[in-house]
Amino acid sequence: MPSPPAGGAPSHGDPSHLLPPTLEPLITSWLTEDTPAFDVGGFVVGDTPAEARLLCKSRGIVAGVPFFNETFRMLGCQVEWLVKEGELIAGEGKKHVATVRGPARKILLGERVGLNVLARCSGIATQSNHLLTLLRTAGYPNTLAGTRKTTPGFRLPEKYAMLVGGCDPHRHSLSSMTMLKDNHIWAHRGAHAASTTDAAITAAIAAARAAGGFSVKIEVECQSVAEAQTAAAAGADVVMLDNFGAEEVAVAARELKERWGEKVLVEVSGGLTEENVGAYACEHVDVISSSSIHQGVRHVDFSLKVVQKGVEGDGAVDGKGESVEI
**Euclidean distance between CA atoms 150 and 144, whole angstroms:** 16
**Euclidean distance between CA atoms 311 and 265, whole angstroms:** 62
**Euclidean distance between CA atoms 188 and 175, whole angstroms:** 19
Phi, psi at residue 183, to the nearest 5°?
Answer: -65, -40
**Euclidean distance between CA atoms 16 and 37, whole angstroms:** 32
CA-CA-CA-CA dihedral for 287, 284, 8, 27, to nearest 10: 0
- 114 within 8 A of 92, measured Cβ to Cβ: no
Helix axis angle, 104-137 relative to 24-34, nearest 10°?
120
Decide if 149 is catalytic: yes
**Euclidean distance between CA atoms 289 and 100, whole angstroms:** 37
**Euclidean distance between CA atoms 230 and 198, whole angstroms:** 6
Which of these is catalytic: 57, 149, 181, 217?
149
Among 30, 33, 40, which residue's Cα sits nearest to residue 68?
Answer: 30
- 100, with CB counted inside 10 A (0-12, 13-18, 19+), is buried
Sign of CA dihedral 95, 101, 105, 106: negative
Q: How far is CA 83 from CA 28, 65, 80, in A?
A: 26, 10, 9
**Euclidean distance between CA atoms 314 and 51, whole angstroms:** 12
Q: How many CB atoms lie within 10 A of CB 38?
A: 8
Catalytic residue numbers read 149
